[in-house]
C-alpha cells in the first residue's frame, strides 16, 4: 500500500520489539506517558535482584521534538514511585544510558526516544539493571500494571543531572585503542566521514578520535533537526545521499573515505565504502566476526537474527564458531549475551552488541571496531568486504522493502493472513525450506532467501531478500510486494 493516513485516535498502550512508540500528540502524550513511566519504574524496583539496594532510575532522551521536556516530566513519575531519578544533562545515544546503568549500578533506565522511527514519532525504551532492553515478560507486566489502574501521583522536585554522554565516551576511550587507529587511518590516507542523521550521536566520533584526527574526520548533518531532514533517521540508503556523495567526492580527489552512519538515538550503524556503496550490518557484522575471531582471537559464539545474511554464518563457521539464529529484536540477542559466552550478536537493521562490552547495541563501539578492522588489514572498506565475500562463497546482494499499512490493527490482521498463505514458489523458483522463527522466511538455495515479517513497532510489512545478484533481489522483492498486495486484498480493511 502506498501511504496511510495519520491515526484518528491513539492506539492501545502496547510494547513492541524495543519499547512503546507512537505518533507524538496522538499515541504519545504526557497524560499517557506518565503512568507508563511510573509502571515501568515500579516494575524495575519490584524485579531488582535480591540484595540490590539501589533506588536510582537513569533517565535519558534523544534530540526529538519535546524529548527533553518529556524526560524531565517523567522524572516526577519516578519520584512518585519513591524512587530516585537521575537525568542526563544533554541528549545522549541510548547506549550511554545502558552504560550509566551498569557503571552506577542503577535499577535501570527510561529513555525517551523513537529510535529510527519517523520524525513525528516518540516513545519510551526500558533498560534493565544489566544495561540491556527488558524482555517481553517485563513489558507484559508493565501493561498489566497499567490495566490494573494503580495510582501514583507525580512529585515535582529538582532532578539531579549527570554527564551521561561524557561518561559513555570516557568509557569507550578506556576500552578502545584510539591512538593507534588514528595513526593507521593517516598511514592509509583514509578519511572518515560521519553522518549522525541529526541524531544524538552527533560529534561523538570526532570527540573519540580527538584532535590528532583533525583533517581526517568530517561530520555532516550534526545539528539538531527534529524533522531529520524530512526522513526517518534510519541508516538506509534512500536517506543517505548526502554522505554517499561526500564519500565519492573525497575518493575522486585521491583521498579514499569511509562513511559511518548512526540512527536517531545512536544504537544502529551502517557504513558507506570508498565507492559510495551502502554497507548495512549484513556486511559489517561478517567483517567484525572475521576481525574479532580471526585477528583478535577473542572467544565466544555468534548470535544473529533470522533476517541476517548467510555471510555471517559462513564467516563464523570458518572460524569454528557456533552460530545461534533468533527472532528479530535485540533483546533476544541481549539475553544470550547475558547467559552465554558470546563474541558478537547482531541484526540486519543495524544493531550490533559485543560480549566484552554491553548486552546492548552500541553503534559507537561498533564503529570504532570497524575502523580498527580496516587499519589492521590496511584496506579500505569496499576492498576489505569484497575480499571477505570472495573467501566465503562469493558476492551476494541484499535489500529490504517496507510496505506501510493503515494501522496496527491492519498489521495484526495481515499477520494472520500471511500465516495461512505460505507460497511454495517465489519468482519462478521453488522454495526449499520454510523457516518460521519470526515471520516467514522462504529459502530458495544457498545465499538466496526471502523473508516477510511485520514490524513490532510500526504498521509496516518488511520484505527482506538476499540473492546472487542485485537483479534477482529486485525481482524477488517485486514478486513479494505483489504477493503481499494480493494477500491483503482478501481483507478490505487493510
b vs e for 393-411, b when ≥16 Cβ sit within 10 Å of the residue's Cβ?
Answer: eeebbbbbbebebbbbebb
Q: In CATH, what is the architecture of 176-391? A: 3-Layer(aba) Sandwich (3.40)
Rounded CA gap, 301 and 343, in Å? 5
pTM of the model: 0.92
Asked if 373 contacts 291 with a C-beta cutoff of 8 angstroms, the reply is yes
Which residue blocks in 189-301 are alpha helix, DSSP H?
204-209, 241-252, 281-289
**Per-residue pLDDT for the chain (494 aa), expressed as one digit of tens each?**
334 444 556 888 989 878 999 999 999 999 999 999 999 999 999 999 888 889 999 999 999 999 999 999 999 999 999 999 999 999 999 999 999 999 999 999 999 999 999 999 999 999 999 999 999 999 999 999 999 987 788 999 999 999 999 999 999 999 999 999 999 999 999 999 999 999 999 999 999 999 988 999 999 999 999 999 999 999 999 999 999 999 999 999 999 999 999 999 999 999 999 999 999 999 999 999 999 999 999 999 999 999 999 999 999 999 999 999 999 988 889 999 998 899 999 998 899 999 999 999 999 999 999 999 999 999 999 999 999 999 998 889 999 999 988 777 788 888 888 888 889 999 999 999 999 999 999 999 989 999 999 887 778 889 999 999 999 999 999 999 998 888 876 665 55
Rounded CA gap, 416 and 8, in Å? 24
Q: In CATH, what is the architecture of 20-163? A: 3-Layer(aba) Sandwich (3.40)
φ/ψ of residue 193, rounded to 5:
-115, 125
Rounded CA gap, 48 and 37, in Å? 16
Rounded CA gap, 78 and 83, in Å? 6
Asked if 5 contacts 43 with a C-beta cutoff of 8 angstroms, the reply is no
**Domain boundaries along the sequence of the chain:** 20-163, 176-391, 397-488
* Distance between first and last Cα of the chain: 9
**Helix (DSSP H) and strand (DSSP E) numbers for the chain:** 15, 22
Q: In CATH, what is the architecture of 397-488? A: 2-Layer Sandwich (3.30)
φ/ψ of residue 126, rounded to 5:
-115, 125
| Cell representation of residue 342 | 558470546
Per DSSP, the three-state class of 162 is strand
| Cell representation of residue 228 | 531529520
Q: Percent helix, strand and coil across the chain, each rounded to 5? A: 40, 20, 40
Could you tell me the sign of the dihedral formed by the alpha carbons of 210, 212, 217, 222, in that order? positive
Per DSSP, the three-state class of 399 is strand
Instruction: Classify residue 14 by burial, with Cβ atoms within 10 Å: 0-12, 13-18, 19+.
Output: middle
| Cell representation of residue 42 | 515500579
Q: Tell me whether the CATH fold assigned to 20-163 matches the one assigned to 176-391.
A: yes
Rounded CA gap, 289 and 138, in Å? 31
Amino acid at each position: 500500500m502506498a501511504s496511510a493516513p495519520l491515526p484518528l485516535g491513539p492506539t492501545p498502550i502496547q510494547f513492541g520489539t524495543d519499547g512503546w512508540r507512537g505518533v507524538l500528540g496522538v499515541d504519545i502524550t504526557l497524560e499517557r506517558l506518565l503512568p507508563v513511566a511510573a509502571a515501568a519504574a515500579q516494575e524495575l524496583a519490584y524485579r531488582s535482584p535480591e540484595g540490590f539496594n539501589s533506588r536510582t532510575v537513569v533517565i535519558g532522551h534523544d534530540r526529538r521534538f519535546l524529548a527533553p521536556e518529556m524526560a524531565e516530566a517523567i522524572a516526577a513519575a519516578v519520584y512518585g514511585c519513591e524512587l530516585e531519578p537521575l537525568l542526563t544533562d544533554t541528549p545522549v545515544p541510548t547506549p550511554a544510558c545502558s552504560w550509566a546503568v551498569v557503571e552506577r549500578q542503577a535499577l535501570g533506565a527510561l529513555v525517551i526516544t523513537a529510535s529510527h522511527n519517523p520524525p513525528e514519532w516518540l516513545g519510551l525504551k526500558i533498560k534493565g539493571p544489566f544495561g540491556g532492553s527488558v524482555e517481553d515478560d517485563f513489558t507484559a507486566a508493565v501493561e498489566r500494571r497499567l490495566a490494573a489502574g494503580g495510582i501514583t501521583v507525580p512529585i515535582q522536585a529538582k532532578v539531579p543531572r549527570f554527564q551521561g554522554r561524557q561518561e559513555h565516551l570516557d568509557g569507550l576511550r578506556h576500552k578502545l585503542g584510539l591512538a593507534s587507529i588514528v595513526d593507521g587511518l593517516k598511514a592509509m590516507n583514509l578519511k572518515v566521514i560521519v553522518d549522525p542523521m541529526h541524531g544524538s550521536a552527533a560529534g561523538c566520533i570526532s570527540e573519540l578520535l580527538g584532535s590528532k584526527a583533525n583533517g581526517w574526520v568530517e561530520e555532516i548533518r550534526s545539528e539538531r533537526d527534529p524533522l531529520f531532514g524530512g526522513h526517518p533517521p534510519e541508516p538506509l540508503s534512500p536517506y543517505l545521499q548526502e554522505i554517499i556523495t561526500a564519500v565519492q567526492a573525497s575518493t575522486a580527489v585521491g583521498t579514499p573515505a569511509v562513511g559511518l552512519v548512526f540512527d536517531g538515538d545512536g544504537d544502529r550503524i551502517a557504513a558507506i565504502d570508498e565507492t559510495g556503496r551502502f554497507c548495512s550490518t549484513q556486511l559489517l557484522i561478517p567483517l567484525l566476526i572475521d576481525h574479532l575471531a580471526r585477528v583478535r582471537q577473542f572467544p565466544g559464539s555468534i548470535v544473529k537474527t533470522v533476517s541476517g545474511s548467510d555471510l555471517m554464518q559462513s564467516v563464523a563457521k570458518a572460524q569454528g564458531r557456533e552460530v545461534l539464529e533468533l527472532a528479530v529484536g535485540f533483546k533476544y540477542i541481549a539475553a544470550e549475551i547475558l547467559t552465554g559466552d558470546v563474541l558478537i550478536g547482531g541484526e540486519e537493521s543495524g544493531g550490533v552488541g559485543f560480549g566484552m562490552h554491553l548486552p546492548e547495541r552500541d553503534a559507537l563501539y561498533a564503529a570504532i571496531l570497524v575502523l580498527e578492522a580496516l587499519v589492521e588489514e590496511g584496506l579500505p572498506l569496499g576492498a576489505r568486504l569484497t575480499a571477505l565475500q570472495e573467501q566465503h562463497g562469493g558476492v551476494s546482494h541484499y535489500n529490504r522493502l517496507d510496505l506501510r499499512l493503515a494501522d496496527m490493527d491492519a498489521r495484526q490482521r495481515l499477520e494472520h493472513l500471511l500465516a495461512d498463505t505460505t507460497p511454495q514458489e517465489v519468482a519462478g523458483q521453488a522454495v526449499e525450506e520454510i523457516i518460521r522463527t519470526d515471520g516467514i522466511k522462504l529459502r530458495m538455495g544457498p545465499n538466496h532467501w526471502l523473508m516477510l515479517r511485520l514490524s513490532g513497532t510500526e504498521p509496516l510489512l518488511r520484505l527482506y531478500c538476499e540473492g546472487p545478484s542485485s537483479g534477482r533481489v529486485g525481482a524477488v522483492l517485486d514478486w513479494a510486494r505483489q504477493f503481499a498486495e494480493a494477500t491483503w486484498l482478501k481483507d478490505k480493511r487493510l
